[in-house]
Chain A
Amino acid sequence: MSPPSASDVPSTRSQRHRSSGRYSALRLLREALTGHRGWRPAWRKAEPRKEYQVVIVGGGGHGLATAYYLANHFGITDVAVLEKGPIGLGNVGRNTTIIRSTYYRPENIRFYDFSLGLWEGLEQELNFNAMVSQRGVVYTWHNDGQRDHMIRRANDMRLAGADCVELDRAALKKLIPPIALDSGRFPVLGAFMQPRGGTVRHDAVAWGYARGASEAGVDIIEHCEVTGLRQAGGRVTGVETTRGFIGAGTVCLAVAGHSSHLAGMADIRLPIETHALQAFVSESIKPFLDVVLMFGAGHFYISQSDKGGMVFGGAIDAHNTYAQRGTQWIAQEVAAEGVALLPDLARLRILRQWSGVMDMTMDGSPIISKLPLEGLVMNGGWCYGGFKAIPAGGYTTAHLIARGVSHPLTAHMDLARFAEGRTVDEIGTGPFPWAH
Chain B
Amino acid sequence: MLRIDCPHCGTRDEVEFRYRGDAGVRRPAAAADTAAFVAYVYERTNPRGWHHEWWYHAAGCRQFLQVWRHTVTHEIHAVGTVAAVLTPPPGAATP
Contacts and interface: CB of A to CB of B under 8 A. Distances in A.
Interface in A385-436: 418-419, 431-432, 434
A271 B35 CA distance: 13
B46 A320 contact: yes
Given A270-B46, A274-B46, A328-B1, A323 B41 contact: no
| Central interface residue in A319, A329, A362, by most chain B CB within 10 Å | A319
B92 to A, nearest CB: 14
Interface in B13-65: 13-15, 19, 21-22, 34-35, 38-39, 41-48, 51, 53
Contacts of A227: none
Contacts of B53: 319-320
A322 B46 CA distance: 10
A326 to B, nearest CB: 10
A434 B19 contact: yes
Contact of A269 (B14, B43, B71): B43
B38 A273 contact: no
B45 A264 contact: yes
B19 A322 contact: no
B49 to A, nearest CB: 8
B74 interface: yes
Nearest to B40: A431
Interface in A308-354: 318-323, 327-329
A362 B2 CA distance: 25
A347 B90 CA distance: 48
B14 A327 contact: yes
B72 interface: yes
B15 A271 contact: no
B19 A319 contact: yes
| Central interface residue in A272, A321, A329, A418, by most chain B CB within 10 Å | A321
B73 interface: yes
A58 to B, nearest CB: 15
B48 A322 contact: yes
A272 B19 contact: no
A431 B41 contact: yes
A419 B34 contact: yes
Given A319-B19, A432-B21, A271 B48 contact: no
Interface in A255-302: 258, 260-261, 264, 269-274
B37 to A, nearest CB: 9
A271 B74 contact: no
A322 B38 contact: no
Contact of B38 (A264, A328, A329, A418): A418
Contacts of A271: 42-44
B19 A273 contact: no
A269 B15 CA distance: 30
A258 B48 contact: yes
B43 A270 contact: yes
Given A327-B1, A434-B19, A260 B38 contact: no
Contacts of B39: 269
Nearest to B46: A260
Contacts of A418: 38, 41-43
5 contacts: A270-B44, A320-B51, A322-B48, A418-B43, A431-B42
Given A271-B44, A322-B71, 14 more contacts: A260-B45, A260-B48, A269-B39, A273-B22, A319-B19, A319-B69, A321-B72, A321-B74, A323-B72, A329-B14, A362-B41, A418-B38, A419-B35, A431-B42
Interface of B: 1-2, 13-15, 19, 21-22, 34-35, 38-39, 41-48, 51, 53, 69, 71-74
